[in-house]
Structure 1
């Protein structure tokens, strides 16, 4: 596997992880007991920390990329393993 492929896979895992993590650990102003600014949306986060979000997404994406590359090298899970309908599609002899 080329390094450019690994970087592209890492970027995909990073973006996916960052978006999946967005709703976790965030509280609204009502939940945190902080007064809202006039005109602020009720769902606006009160404790969003983008730096921590980036660090956690980076770590998770690195682990997922490492597992993906190791699976590519050692072939732990292949296409034949994921074929759930093999018995249904095979014709009887």
Structure 2
């Protein structure tokens, strides 16, 4: 795995974790009782995107490190994942 592959792997993991973390502790404007005119009642009262991005990063880094370690150690290779025999051996 080269530098570009590592960055792409981290980005994919980060966004997957972000979409899992995003709805955690979600509170709508309707639940808060303060619907801002012009917005739907289901809009978030306080999205806390920065906090959720930090939490996502704290979760994504160890996951990325574990997956990168497995890839770099050679325990699992692309040939191991070639279930249809398209790469040839």
Tell me the alpha carbon deviations over residues 45-76 of structure 1, each in whole angstroms, 9 at most, x when there is no partner.
0021111011111122211110101222342x
Tell me the alpha carbon deviations over residues 13-46 of structure 1, each in whole angstroms, 9 at most, x when there is no partner.
11111122221111012323x3212232021000
TM-score by length of 2: 0.72
Structure 1 stretches of 4+ moved >6 Å: none
Partner SS, residue 58 of structure 2: helix
Larger of the two Rg values belongs to structure: 1
Partner residue in 1 for 2:66:
67
Question: Which runs of 5 or more structure 1 residues have no equivalent in the other structure?
Answer: 84-93
Partner residue in 2 for 1:25:
25
Task: Quote the RMSD (CA, aligned, Å).
Answer: 2.0
Q: Report deviation, 1:8.
A: 1.0
TM-score by length of 1: 0.70
